[in-house]
Structure 1
Amino acid sequence: MNKSISKGLRVFFFLSLGIIILWWLYKDQDPEKLTEILKKDVGYGWIFLSLIMGLLSHVSRTIRWQMLIEPVEKRPRTFNTFLAVMIGYLANLAIPRMGEISRCAVLSRYEEISFSRLVGTVVTERVLDLIMLLLSLALMIVLQYNAFVEVVNNKIDLTRVGNFFSSIWFLFSLGLSIALVYAFRKNISNSKIFVRLRGLWYKFKEGLFSYKNVKNKPMFFIHTLLIFTLYFLMIYVCFFGFPFTRNLGAGAGLAVFVFGSFGMVAPVQGGIGPWHFMVISTLLFFGVQAPQAAAFALLVHGSLNGMIVITGLLSLVALPIFNKK
């Protein structure tokens, strides 16, 4: 099968899966009830504040990415870097995980920086993001242990996952793969594609370990912390915009943020479906009624992704104008 067709079918499959999950979550909801909540019960000023928090997190990510790029090549212009970041977020709404490649391609073109090195810096960013997400999860377990146990027990079958990795078929496939690579190691190491990949790897590695040569390491880690703090506030300030979440507290906000973040990890455009599922399930645990939880997830997800669409499209327009020369 043609690679482009295969990729297109995979994207279509996950998007369809997300839409099916979304339909399943909202099929029993009364549209009039949802509309009434969105019209009468929402303080949209808090939603607007949430969008500002989101934009500030993207600015902080822009500065942190500049700090990673500078040691391996040169410090790119701030405006171009910010536009590339926003175009990357927009690309993720079209094809999951495409944003990381897209922003590197954009910045490589307009700032004349090695694409491979840029990809290495983005991988470093993602590793840092994963560490911060795990730290957020650990903090949430300490503060909201009952919520963690409830959601995990009801939504995740850890036994099935463990059975897969301990199955004879998985172990046999892993052993066979290692044996084949070892048997043909000389042929592999002398092949043109391997030599090409090795050259790309050296540039990629420079970007990957660029954090070691960051000039201002304290500020770099401050921005790493600030990005996730703003991510959390982006969700938590929305609590004050709804009467049914206003008094839940920061611990509940942290739980919604963490479980929602794991929903965003799913390979579905914009986390459509999985994000709603995780957020609604968490809010139900804290005593929010189903129609109210559904309205919260629908509005918060829609507004934040709407902001990404608008700023991403504006970035696409602004990029060639700003770089006319």
Structure 2
Amino acid sequence: MKHKLLKLFKVLAFFALGVVIFWLVYKDQDIERIESILKNDVNYFWIWVSLFLGLLSHISRTMRWVIMIEPLGQRPRMVNTFLAVMVGYLMNLVIPRMGEISRCGVLSRYEKISFTKLVGTVVTERIIDVIMMLLLTMIVTVTQLGKLVQFLDNNPEVKSKLESITFSPVMIISIIALVVGVYLARQRIKRSNLFHKLNGILHKFGEGLRTVRNMKHKGAFIFHTVFIWVMYYLMLYVVFFAFGFTSNLTAIAGLTTFVLGSYGMVAPVQGGIGAWHFMVIQALIVYGISKADAVVFAFLAHSSMTAMMIIVGLISLLILPFINRRNTESL
């Protein structure tokens, strides 16, 4: 009971943090002006294009996941895999980082695939996504270094946080102490029952991690990996054309905004609420967009993406049992 209450408290705390950041971003804004722009000055055609591109990225992620699962000796149905992915996105809006576990649980239930092995494939996905994110960060750093410096100068609290994380003596000492402690106690650890249980779990987990090496369709895997991130980027960039004040910004400005916004999504709050808005707004400011206009852009871009994930996620959650009952009855 205490564990459940603690978990609930963490969820509510993260949600409250997101709401506070969101409030700090929007508390001094002219709500009537925002409403006026949303009603009269937005070309919603580009919002629909953005949502379509986002849907394409989710379909591509589904296809890539199927490719990764095949080396496990399983080929899940595409429809179940897609619905599991969308349920995962929905759960991320409820509990940060829960989506990865949720989609593995859904697919394991309906396709009878080892949950632990599926988690291994998702961890591999995340490692690859981090690599892609770092590549995009390098592109932005090389081409837009001056803008990034301006971003940090405009936000000294972000700059201070990055410096404290990078050069924190406490973190460095803690890592060294952990490594030394594990090394000195390695023999005792290996003899423990907990170690043997964890070793069995890690073996299955490792099978999931090794799927990239054993997959048959490596070319398709690479294509989907690139395609997913191109769609993520375009999903945000096309929203620039929905507003007159951002329609003239360059593609590289869109990439910078996308990369900084993505780091906002890393914050442990549901759907990046607040943190994503802050990063995107500050990115637009360094490209000459007023804060008043930037907050409208961030609000609509984030709201439309979130609404799509909620609607499609809820539909997926509702039809999963129905689809699989029909499949069972047809056997």
TM-score by length of 1: 0.95
Q: 1:83 and 1:288, CA in 2 relative to 1: closer, same or farther beyond 3 A?
A: same
Instruction: Quote the Cα distance in structure 2 between the aligned partners of 1:225 and 1:179.
Output: 39
**SS of residue matched to 2:72:** coil
**SS of residue matched to 1:156:** helix
Instruction: Quote the Cα distance in structure 1 between the aligned partners of 2:165 and 2:69.
Output: 38
- Residue 98 of structure 1 is matched in structure 2 by 98
1:156 pairs, out of 154, 159, 177, with 159
Residue 72 of structure 1: CA displacement? Answer: 1.3
List per-residue Cα deviations over 1:160-210 (Å, max 9, x = no partner). Answer: 22341xx2x445544443444344433322222221111110111010120
Q: 1:237 and 1:161, CA in 2 relative to 1: closer, same or farther beyond 3 A?
A: same
Q: Which amino acid aligns with 1:162?
A: T
Residue 318 of structure 1: CA displacement? Answer: 1.1
Instruction: Quote the Cα distance in structure 1 between the aligned partners of 2:173 and 2:45.
Output: 57
Instruction: Quote the Cα distance in structure 2 between the aligned partners of 1:287 and 1:159.
Output: 26
The correspondence of residues 282-301 of structure 1 with structure 2, limited to 5 A, is: 282-301=283-302
**SS of residue matched to 1:240:** helix
- Residue 188 of structure 2 is matched in structure 1 by 187
**SS of residue matched to 1:71:** helix
Instruction: Quote the Cα distance in structure 2 between the aligned partners of 1:224 and 1:162.
Output: 29
Instruction: Quote the Cα distance in structure 1 between the aligned partners of 2:173 and 2:131.
Output: 31
Instruction: Quote the Cα distance in structure 2 between the aligned partners of 1:239 and 1:35.
Output: 18
- Residue 109 of structure 1 is matched in structure 2 by 109
Residue 251 of structure 1: CA displacement? Answer: 1.1
- Residue 37 of structure 1 is matched in structure 2 by 37
Query: Is structure 2 residue 11 aligned with structure 1 residue 8?
Result: no
Q: 1:57 and 1:170, CA in 2 relative to 1: closer, same or farther beyond 3 A?
A: closer
- Residue 223 of structure 2 is matched in structure 1 by 222
Instruction: Quote the Cα distance in structure 2 between the aligned partners of 1:172 and 1:130.
Output: 25
The correspondence of residues 197-216 of structure 1 with structure 2, limited to 5 A, is: 197-216=198-217
**SS of residue matched to 2:245:** coil
Instruction: Quote the Cα distance in structure 2 between the aligned partners of 1:163 and 1:255.
Output: 25
Residue 106 of structure 1: CA displacement? Answer: 0.4
Query: Is structure 2 residue 238 aligned with structure 1 residue 237?
Result: yes
Residue 26 of structure 1: CA displacement? Answer: 0.5
- Listed as ranges, the gaps of 5+ residues in structure 1 are none
- Residue 256 of structure 1 is matched in structure 2 by 257
Instruction: Quote the Cα distance in structure 2 between the aligned partners of 1:159 and 1:184.
Output: 33
Q: Check conservation: 1:73, 1:113, Cα contact below 8 A.
A: no
- Residue 271 of structure 2 is matched in structure 1 by 270
- Residue 129 of structure 2 is matched in structure 1 by 129
Query: Is structure 2 residue 45 aligned with structure 1 residue 23?
Result: no
- Residue 247 of structure 2 is matched in structure 1 by 246
Instruction: Quote the Cα distance in structure 2 between the aligned partners of 1:176 and 1:288.
Output: 47
**Number of residue pairs the alignment of both structures matches:** 322
List per-residue Cα deviations over 1:266-306 (Å, max 9, x = no partner). Answer: 11100001000000001111111112110110011001000
Instruction: Quote the Cα distance in structure 1 between the aligned partners of 2:106 and 2:118.
Output: 10
Instruction: Quote the Cα distance in structure 2 between the aligned partners of 1:138 and 1:152.
Output: 16
Instruction: Quote the Cα distance in structure 2 between the aligned partners of 1:183 and 1:223.
Output: 44
TM-score by length of 2: 0.93
- Listed as ranges, the gaps of 5+ residues in structure 2 are none
Instruction: Quote the Cα distance in structure 2 between the aligned partners of 1:172 and 1:280.
Output: 36
> Aligned Cα RMSD in Å?
1.5
- Residue 79 of structure 2 is matched in structure 1 by 79
Greater CA drift, 314-323 or 7-16: 7-16
- Residue 313 of structure 1 is matched in structure 2 by 314
Q: Which amino acid aligns with 1:306?
A: A
